[in-house]
């Protein structure tokens, strides 16, 4: 679980809820801040514009990607490096075939697939191309997700503003008395509020988090590729470890170079 | 048909229509939200500025490109790959000339043109240049279309705002009584509403969809070029298939490499 | 003449004029929408800021460049290619010197200059450098023009807004009665209207059109360079034609490759 | 201490405090400008959205990075160059091992680490890779810090605006009398004020300063790498000095080249 | 003197001054448009934020750079080329040492320094590196200046808006009568006016002009480097002249190539 995302959502919405309820009570909140037509215009308009902008297939894939912002990848780079190094050691001391069972038991599918290519005795260049192509498609899929949320983060305030102008026109066109203006304007402003809230608490930060998650996932996969290529090339385990640790921030590596 | 585009337009306009009619009735909608001069200023101003910005020829070509957002290309990458592979097989088992009739029957004109170059025994470099030049011009034509819609998406809110200021000035300059202000302001705001709606439901998302469609079409054409070059170079069908499938996302390929 | 530019200007201004006159009459238009001090602030402020931003020399050159948006280049790429090919044929069948008179009669100065370098027997690399340098300076000159109009398109709404705030302050500071507020606000809003109109109907689209014209002119010049280099290198006319037509969109070329 | 940062904060906040107090007194300031719920919405909303956008780990690291804007690095480039040159001289006149104690006494950890690699007799390429990797990770860490502050500088005005709209809705929905409107609007505007102040006096300029500090720190580290590589390669001290001074602006070097 | 800058400032401020004075008189101008606290908030806030963003040293250097927008460089490219060519001729006909006195008399320090390197018999690569490094630092120093003015052009309207909101809050919180609202709003709007004026007449166009001046200065220096390298390499004067004139727009060169 990515608690930062959840706490962010809960804290953001909670703050606004409390700020309103503490001044106008729960009744006032329901009466003045919950308005279904306003939600329909802001959210519906945003989705409609997004649907024109993308294909069904792309929109559906967004939901699959969006759930990533709530999950935390278990695998860390250090664990991956340890796995690669220990498997390499075993393959050298025994034989490549000796690690076949270990590979089948690996939980990371990309690592498992990479090693299976080594077992199948595919040449280095083909392995690299095959695995790097997978990263490229992963990046494009992730980038599409970020882009769609970014787009929704642009459309939401626009439709919020649009809803407010619609409300203002309706209010002004059938103007009766001063107090009606104020009440009508309160309703009209709701869509702007919804649009700003959706964009700034959901769409834009989710797009940002997807970008960060994508970078993390790609880094792990790049370490895996480097490790598998290095193993296939017959590098000794300590060299592999040193090569892979160069992908980590200096603090996370134990320096061993000088002691060597 | 690209149903996402159509549903997006219908849902977006429908939502706004219903939101208005449910509050002020169909009569109020016609009276307060349909105003021909306001449409003329917003849309006319947008087209006028776009005309200054581009040439007649470019503007006309936009309509040809715009209809793409409603159509769905039948051909998918898998089908193209199958066609290339089966034609290569036939050419190898029989002769290059044996596939002449099949080529004439191909529905994809780019594929047909590519194979006709192979039949005409043109050298590889000339084929590549000829076909890639076609992609480059396609991309530029598509990019122009995206750019024009993007430009219209920038001008529409500007002329909407301009219309509102014009309306405000007229209203304020001949001010008589309070209710007249409100009514005049309602009319003045209409152009801002039209401008925001045109930009956010039509011009900007259409520009976005043109970009996505262009990427899909270019990918198909790149697969075709790679296939034709590969065939001309005498690669065996299984190698061609493997090369072309590298253009697909991993899920769409059946992995055959390990079983080999 | 570039009719798109002219029609764009006329249609844009005409629409706004008609929209105003149809509601407040020609008298109301002159009274409420024509205000010399407002024009002075918006246009004057824009020019003053532009003058700080650029040098006199650059500003003067803008007027020379700006008139390009009204003119349509006669020469099209096809005509240029035909000229190069026919001159090459004549030079091959007769002699390079035989085309000396034809070259002097060429209307395109860049083409004339290029051929004169060939006649003077300058080596290929010097010709290429000389002609490409000319394109680079042309592009920079054009880019400066686009940039200046873009800058004016940014300053105009800013000074329009500034004029409105000035007007509001004057109005609010000597406030007397309700109707005076409205009238003063109408005048104050005029500069915003002027700024938005100048930016969106003139400065920004003119900047855009200059960009498109520049691209067209550079393409023609690149075709000329390629043709002259190709001729100097002794390519046969049909090869030259095929090379130069690769610069054209596929529809404009007649395909001759397969028939060959 | 980086006094510019501190003076900037103090002067900016002081100016605004004085401007308010001089007109409404300290009592009016506390009454009208200090509103805890408004601070909670603006700052809380900004942090909530930032939390959705980044991970806990990244947010915590920001505080470590943010304190950099208050500290001034003691080490200047000239001092580093002198150290490298004098150590090189000593190593040449005596032996590499003779400088072991000096190296342990170096205050700059990057310089100390670099020299320890030379002492350990690691080959040039490994040293360069090791040290450059460290710079790359430093830059990414710094860039993340700049990015987070930039993001907060975007969210703060958005949540400020959002708070104002919330306030307006509450005010308009329970409208009673004219003066209540004015008072309510004053409170509503507070969040916009807070958002603008946080963004423009804190988040955005801090992001800017982090960028400048990062550039300075990276430059120092690049000089160190160049110096250590140069020493390892056996360059004579005067050459090393001349190479390293090329990283300095001309004024900071004493020119010695001509006198040589 | 760069008259465009001065005329731009004078004309911009003059226009606004006249527009105001012609309507409210010099007394009204002093009373309603000159407000020291408003200037303090806008300008002070802008400087405070800029101080947080940059270091003291950088801010001070800005003033040194800013005065460039008022000065016009005397040296033009043609004069520089003539000097280089004539010195080269003299060096060839007599000896390199014969031009020692001429070099000391050169007014352009970059040119003088470059030639002194040639006299000192430094090798070509060192000369090139030395001189190009100087250009790089010059560009960075210039870029910093542009960036600081650009930053101030962003902060000024922000603090202007902030001052207006402060004013509105003060006004609304102690609301008494209708006319007080109007007067208070007039004062509140002043900071927005100042911010917009500073940004659009001073900070942004000065940043723009610094960019143009930098480009001109760098071009001159690049011509000098090319000339000195060319002389050092022993090119004959006519070749040097032709090489250097390639840096000029075609109109400024007299074409001599064909006549040769």
The pLDDT tens digits for B124-144 are 998 998 899 889 988 988 899
**Residue C259 — very low, low, confident or very high, per pLDDT cuts 50/70/90?**
very low
Q: Are A58 and B212 in contact (CB under 8 A)?
A: yes
How far is residue E110's CA from residue E221's CA, in Å, rounded to a whole number? 7
Phi, then psi, of C109 in degrees rounded to 5: -65, -30
Nearest to D248 by CA among E59, E130, E221: E130
Residues in B closer than 8 angstroms to A116, CB to CB, are 258
Express each pLDDT in E17-53 by its tens digit: 998 998 888 888 888 899 998 999 999 999 999 999 9
How far is residue B114's CA from residue B132's CA, in Å, rounded to a whole number? 11
Residues in E closer than 8 angstroms to C37, CB to CB, are 19, 22-23
Tokens 């808006």, located at residue:
E161
How far is residue D106's CA from residue D39's CA, in Å, rounded to a whole number? 46
Tokens 């400066």, located at residue:
C144
**Cβ neighbours around A31 below 10 Å, total:** 13
Nearest to C194 by CA among C47, C53, C40, C69: C40
Please judge whether D258 and E116 are an interchain contact, meaning their C-beta atoms are less than 8 angstroms apart: yes
- The arithmetic mean of pLDDT across residues D67-89, rounded, is 84
- Pick the residue of E208, E209, E216, E219 with the most C CBs within 10 A to test the interface with C by mutation: E208
Nearest to B163 by CA among E200, C23, C153: C23
Residues in A closer than 8 angstroms to D165, CB to CB, are 189, 192-193, 196
Please judge whether E208 and C52 are an interchain contact, meaning their C-beta atoms are less than 8 angstroms apart: yes
Helix, strand or coil, per DSSP, at residue D35: coil
- Pick the residue of E46, E49, E65 with the most D CBs within 10 A to test the interface with D by mutation: E49
Question: CA–CA distance from B146 to each of A155, B6, B51, B150, B211 (Å)?
Answer: 18, 18, 15, 6, 6
**Residue B179 — very low, low, confident or very high, per pLDDT cuts 50/70/90?**
low
Question: CA–CA distance from C39 to each of C26, C167, C183, C184 (Å)?
Answer: 19, 13, 18, 16
- For position A175, what pLDDT does the model report? 58
How far is residue B30's CA from residue B35's CA, in Å, rounded to a whole number? 8
Q: Are E153 and E203 in contact (CB under 8 A)?
A: yes
Nearest to A157 by CA among A61, A69, A49, A67: A49
Query: In chain E, what is the straight-line distance between the N-terminal and C-terminal CA atoms, in Å?
Result: 40
- For position D204, what pLDDT does the model report? 96
Express each pLDDT in C59-79 by its tens digit: 888 877 888 888 877 668 888
Please judge whether E137 and D250 are an interchain contact, meaning their C-beta atoms are less than 8 angstroms apart: yes
Q: Which two tokens stand for residue A133?
A: 């192509």
- The arithmetic mean of pLDDT across residues C25-41, rounded, is 89
- For position B224, what pLDDT does the model report? 93
Shortest Cα–Cα distance, C102 to chain B (Å): 32
- For position E259, what pLDDT does the model report? 36
Query: In chain C, what is the straight-line distance between the N-terminal and C-terminal CA atoms, in Å?
Result: 40
- For position C174, what pLDDT does the model report? 72
Residue D82 has pLDDT above 70, yes or no: yes
Express each pLDDT in A105-154 by its tens digit: 888 889 999 998 888 888 899 899 889 988 998 898 889 999 999 999 99
High-pLDDT (> 70) share of chain C, %: 93
Q: Which residues contact C5 (CB under 8 A, 6 or more apart)?
A: B51, B52, C69, C70, C206, C209
By CB atoms closer than 10 A (0-12, 13-18, 19+), residue A101 is: exposed
- The arithmetic mean of pLDDT across residues B171-194, rounded, is 79
Q: Which residues contact E166 (CB under 8 A, 6 or more apart)?
A: D16, D19, D20, D193, E41, E188, E191
Tokens 């050419």, located at residue:
B91
Q: Are C1 and C72 in contact (CB under 8 A)?
A: yes
Residues in D closer than 8 angstroms to A205, CB to CB, are 49-50, 52-53, 155
Please judge whether C49 and E200 are an interchain contact, meaning their C-beta atoms are less than 8 angstroms apart: yes
- The arithmetic mean of pLDDT across residues A179-194, rounded, is 84
Shortest Cα–Cα distance, C80 to chain E (Å): 22
Please judge whether C116 and E209 are an interchain contact, meaning their C-beta atoms are less than 8 angstroms apart: no
Q: Are B45 and B162 in contact (CB under 8 A)?
A: yes
Q: Is the ipTM of this complex over 0.90?
A: no
How far is residue E128's CA from residue E239's CA, in Å, rounded to a whole number? 19
In this complex, which chains have at least 3 CB pairs below 8 Å with chain D? A, E
Residue by residue, DSSP assigns B74-122 as ---HHHHHHHHHHHHHHHHHS-GGGGHHHHHT-S-HHHHHHHHHHHTT-
Q: Which of A44, A133, A169 shows the shortest C-beta gap to B15?
A: A44
Residue C240 has pLDDT above 80, yes or no: yes
Q: Which two tokens stand for residue B118?
A: 């192979």
**Residue A259 — very low, low, confident or very high, per pLDDT cuts 50/70/90?**
very low
Q: Are B195 and B161 in contact (CB under 8 A)?
A: yes
Nearest CA in chain A to D157: A200
- For position B176, what pLDDT does the model report? 56
Please judge whether E52 and D201 are an interchain contact, meaning their C-beta atoms are less than 8 angstroms apart: yes
- Pick the residue of E183, E193, E195, E252 with the most C CBs within 10 A to test the interface with C by mutation: E193
How far is residue E84's CA from residue E221's CA, in Å, rounded to a whole number? 12
By CB atoms closer than 10 A (0-12, 13-18, 19+), residue A249 is: middle
How far is residue E121's CA from residue A142's CA, in Å, rounded to a whole number? 58
Nearest to E87 by CA among D46, E79, A74: E79
How far is residue C136's CA from residue B4's CA, in Å, rounded to a whole number? 45
Q: Which residues of B touch C (CB under 8 A)?
A: 37, 40-41, 44-45, 47-56, 58-59, 116-117, 120, 122, 126, 129-130, 133-134, 137, 141, 151, 155, 158-159, 161-163, 165-166, 168-170, 172-175, 181
How far is residue C236's CA from residue C193's CA, in Å, rounded to a whole number? 60
Express each pLDDT in A49-106 by its tens digit: 999 999 888 888 887 888 888 887 766 888 889 999 999 898 888 887 788 888 888 8
Return the higher-pLDDT residue of C196 and C251. C196
- Which alpha helices (DSSP H) does chain A contain, by range? 3-33, 36-53, 56-66, 77-93, 100-104, 109-119, 124-173, 178-197, 204-232, 237-245
- For position C256, what pLDDT does the model report? 43
High-pLDDT (> 90) share of chain E, %: 41
Please judge whether D47 and A11 are an interchain contact, meaning their C-beta atoms are less than 8 angstroms apart: yes
How far is residue C16's CA from residue D222's CA, in Å, rounded to a whole number? 61
Buried b / exposed e over C140-178, threshold 16 CB at 10 Å, is ebbebbbbbbbbbbbbbbbbbbbbbbbbbbbbbbbbeee
Express each pLDDT in C188-237 by its tens digit: 999 999 999 999 999 999 999 999 999 888 999 999 999 999 988 888 88
- For position A158, what pLDDT does the model report? 97
Q: Which of D16, D183, D257 shows the shortest C-beta gap to E172?
A: D183
Q: Are C241 and C85 in contact (CB under 8 A)?
A: yes
- The arithmetic mean of pLDDT across residues D74-79, rounded, is 78
- The arithmetic mean of pLDDT across residues A22-36, rounded, is 87
Helix, strand or coil, per DSSP, at residue E3: helix
Q: Which two tokens stand for residue D29?
A: 């300031």
Shortest Cα–Cα distance, D51 to chain A (Å): 5
Degrees to nearest 5, angle at CA A140 with B244 and B128 = 35
How far is residue A234's CA from residue A231's CA, in Å, rounded to a whole number? 5
Shortest Cα–Cα distance, C121 to chain B (Å): 31
**Which helix (H) or strand (E) segment is B30 a member of?**
helix B3-33
Please judge whether B133 and C205 are an interchain contact, meaning their C-beta atoms are less than 8 angstroms apart: no
Nearest CA in chain B to C72: B55
Q: Which of E185, E186, E201 shows the shortest C-beta gap to C49?
A: E201
Q: Which two tokens stand for residue E223?
A: 């011509």
Interchain contact A/B (3 or more Cβ pairs less than 8 Å): yes
Q: Are B73 and B216 in contact (CB under 8 A)?
A: yes
Express each pLDDT in D166-197 by its tens digit: 999 988 887 555 566 677 788 899 999 999 99
Return the higher-pLDDT residue of D238 and A207. A207
Nearest CA in chain A to D166: A193
Helix, strand or coil, per DSSP, at residue D225: helix
pTM value is 0.89
How far is residue B16's CA from residue A158's CA, in Å, rounded to a whole number? 14
**Residue B177 — very low, low, confident or very high, per pLDDT cuts 50/70/90?**
low
Q: Are B157 and B214 in contact (CB under 8 A)?
A: no
Query: Average pLDDT, whole number, for chain E?
Result: 87
CA dihedral C62, C64, C67, C71 (to 10 degrees): -130
- For position B31, what pLDDT does the model report? 85
Tokens 């940014």, located at residue:
C154
- Pick the residue of B23, B30, B213 with the most A CBs within 10 A to test the interface with A by mutation: B23
Count CB pairs under 8 A between chains C and E.
Answer: 139
Packing angle, helices D109-119 and D77-93, rounded to 10: 20
Q: Are B159 and C19 in contact (CB under 8 A)?
A: no
Buried b / exposed e over D22-40, threshold 16 CB at 10 Å, is ebbeeeebeebbebebbeb
Express each pLDDT in B209-243 by its tens digit: 999 989 888 999 999 999 999 988 888 888 888 88
Residues in E closer than 8 angstroms to C141, CB to CB, are 249
Residue B48 has pLDDT above 90, yes or no: yes
- For position E17, what pLDDT does the model report? 93
Q: Which of C23, C201, C206 shows the shortest C-beta gap to B48?
A: C201
Q: Which residues of A touch B (CB under 8 A)?
A: 37, 40-41, 44-45, 47-56, 58-59, 116-117, 120, 122, 126, 129-130, 133-134, 137, 141, 151, 155, 158-159, 161-163, 165-166, 168-170, 172-175, 181
**Cβ neighbours around A27 below 10 Å, total:** 9
How far is residue B97's CA from residue B104's CA, in Å, rounded to a whole number? 12
Per this entry, what is the length of chain C? Answer: 260
Per-residue DSSP letter, B255: P
Q: Are D252 and D219 in contact (CB under 8 A)?
A: no
How far is residue A185's CA from residue A179's CA, in Å, rounded to a whole number? 10
Residues in D closer than 8 angstroms to E141, CB to CB, are 249
Q: Are B37 and A59 in contact (CB under 8 A)?
A: no
Residues in D closer than 8 angstroms to A258, CB to CB, are 116-117, 120
Query: Average pLDDT, whole number, for chain B?
Result: 87
How far is residue E42's CA from residue B220's CA, in Å, rounded to a whole number? 56
Tokens 């342990």, located at residue:
D104
- For position E71, what pLDDT does the model report? 81
Please judge whether A162 and B199 are an interchain contact, meaning their C-beta atoms are less than 8 angstroms apart: no
**Residue E258 — very low, low, confident or very high, per pLDDT cuts 50/70/90?**
very low
In this complex, which chains have at least 3 CB pairs below 8 Å with chain A? B, D
Q: Which two tokens stand for residue A258?
A: 């000088």
**Residue E179 — very low, low, confident or very high, per pLDDT cuts 50/70/90?**
low
How far is residue D70's CA from residue A48's CA, in Å, rounded to a whole number? 48
- The arithmetic mean of pLDDT across residues B170-176, rounded, is 75
């Amino acid at each position: 679980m990515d608690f930062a995302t959840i706490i962010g959502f809960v804290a953001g919405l909670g703050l606004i809820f409390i700020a309103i309820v503490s001044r106008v009570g729960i009744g006032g909140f329901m009466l003045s801040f919950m308005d279904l037509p306003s939600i329909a215009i802001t959210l519906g308009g945003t989705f409609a514009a997004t649907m024109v902008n993308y294909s069904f297939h792309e929109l559906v894939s967004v939901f699959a990607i969006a759930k990533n912002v709530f999950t935390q990848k278990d695998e860390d780079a250090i664990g991956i490096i340890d796995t690669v190094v220990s498997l390499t050691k075993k393959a050298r001391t025994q034989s490549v075939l000796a690690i076949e069972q270990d590979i089948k038991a690996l939980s990371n599918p990309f690592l498992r697939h990479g090693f299976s290519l080594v077992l199948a005795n595919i040449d280095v260049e083909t392995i690299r191309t095959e695995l790097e192509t997978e990263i490229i498609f992963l990046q494009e899929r992730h980038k599409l997700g970020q882009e769609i949320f970014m787009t929704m983060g642009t459309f939401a305030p626009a439709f919020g503003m649009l809803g407010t102008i619609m409300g203002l026109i309706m209010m002004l066109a059938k103007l009766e008395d001063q107090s009606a203006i104020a009440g009508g304007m309160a309703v009209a402003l709701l869509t702007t509020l919804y649009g700003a809230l959706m964009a700034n608490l959901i769409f834009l930060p989710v797009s940002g988090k997807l970008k960060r998650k994508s970078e993390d996932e790609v880094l792990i996969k790049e370490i895996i590729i480097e490790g598998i290529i290095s193993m296939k090339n017959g590098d000794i385990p300590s060299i592999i470890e040193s090569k892979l640790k160069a992908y980590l921030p200096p603090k996370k590596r134990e320096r061993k170079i000088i002691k060597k």
